[in-house]
Every structure is written in structure tokens, then in C-alpha cells.
Amino acid sequence: MKIAFIGLGAMGRAMATNLVRNGHDVSAWTRSARTLAGVTTLEIPDKAFEGDVVLTILSDDTAVRSVIVDPDLLSRAKSGVIHVMMSTISVAFSRELTALHNQAGVAFVASPVLGRPDVAADGALQILTGGDPTHLASLVPVFEVLSKRIWPMGDKPWGAHAAKIACNMMITMAIEAMAEAVVLTEANGVAREVFFDLILNTLFGSRSYQVYSKNITNRVYEPGFRAALGLKDLRLATEAGAATGRELPMLAAIFGQMGEAIDAGHGEKDWSIVAAQTLGEADKNS
């Protein structure tokens, strides 16, 4: 299959490498002019829409808009190409992109992922999908190379983006929950590694708790997933929540706490730095 990437950061490089290893014809355009062995470099992003599948992995709404929407790449897309939005973007923008693709007659699906670059390198991502079932079915050979499991979130692309935003929101809540638990337990003589041994083997054994409890125990908060991007995702969750007309008090609290960590100069740290903010240890990680 002829697959093109728009964006080739750490996640994109891992995914592109796996697709090349599995015999796909892979090309990429990236704003930083990055190159990757086995991947054909595209001089302009328009060329990405001349193949079978385009995988877009850009940082946010603004980047996607500037690269794809403003230059009107969709009007020059090859007939039959499927555009797969793997970026974590806002629900509102996902709805807008769906309408724009429909107008242009270009197939559009969402497939944001759960997993960090090391997981992507292992081909073990969790892929959340949203869109026309026929288009998604044709993408299974691509997704199976990249993922441990594919999770259908319905036939609307914005449903998958809402689910991804909700997942990231819950991860930050888990990090904050662990930090606040350490405040209580350490104040009463329980070492954090002892407490985490308890919760990981009883109540909370998920990957998020496993990964971020280690950061909190070791007081090391290196990326990972940058706190600045975590704040962006919490902002997207806040916007999506506001659109429902309901209050989300836990989201409001963690959004404020993450913002404080970034205001303190920790935007390039792993997003689990929010735990150090709560524990009063953030200054030690400057």
C-alpha cells in the first residue's frame, strides 16, 4: 500500500519504520525536513495526497489548519485517497474537518492513538477509530502493523477524538491522584514505593499507574509526553466539556494544576511533573 505521512515526529518515525518493515511504500512530508531510512521524502505536503492513504500526525489544530486546510490540499487530493487524522485535535475541529472532506469528496477517518514512542516502536499502540466502516475496514492492514488492538468508537470521526481527549484527561487525573495519595501516606511514615507496591498489586494496575508511579517514586520527570502538550489536551477537554453544558470539576482542577507547573517553567518536562507540583518538589526538577 502507498502510505504517506504528514508529520514525522517521534511517534511518526516509529510508525513509518514499522510500515516500511512490513513492505509498504512509505513517504513523508515534515515541516522540519526530517528524513528517515526507507521513507521517501516529499518536498511539498500536496504529494502526500497522491497515494492510497495519508496519515497526519501534527501537534495541534493550528498546525493541521496551516498545513492542510489553509492551502486547500483537499481540492488537489487524488480520487480514492483516505485521509487518516492521527493527531489529537479538538472535537470542534474534527467536526469541521469532516465537513470539509465531505465537501471535497475525500474520505476522512480519525485514528488517534494511546501509547508513547516506545510502544509505537513495538507496534503495540491502541488505535481509536472513527469514521465510515468501509474506509476503516480498508485500513486494517495498516492499523494491524501499528497496533496491539483497534478500538472502534463509532462512525463519526469526532467521536474518536473525543475519546482520545477523555483518555488523556483521565491519565492526568491518575497522576494527580497518585501525587495526592503520596501527600497523605508519606506524611504518616509510608514510603512512596511501598504505597505504590500496594496500589499496583491491588486497586490500580494499569499501564498509566505503572509508568507514572515510577516517575513519582524516582522523582524523575523527563519526556515522555511533554507537559505543554498535556496542557493542550486538557484545554481541548475543557472546550469539549463546555460544549456539553455540564461542569467537570476534576478536569478544572487538573487543568489549573498543570498550568501552574508550566508557568513554573516545566513545560518541556514529562506531563507527570504535575505530581511534583502537588508534592512541592517541582523546583528540584528545574
| Catalytic center residues | 164
- Alpha helices, DSSP H, located in 41-191: 61-64, 91-104, 117-121, 133-138, 140-146, 157-186
Closest CA to 284 of 188, 193, 218, 211: 218
Residues sharing a CB contact under 8 Å with residue 110, sequence separation 6 or more, in sequence order:
84, 85, 94, 128, 129, 130, 131, 153, 157, 158, 159, 160, 161
Q: What is the enclosing helix (H) or strand (E) of 210?
A: helix 207-218
* Grid coordinates given for 42: 516529499
* Grid coordinates given for 143: 492499523
d(CA 158, CA 165): 10
* Grid coordinates given for 120: 509505537
Round the CA-based radius of gyration of the chain to a whole number and report it: 20
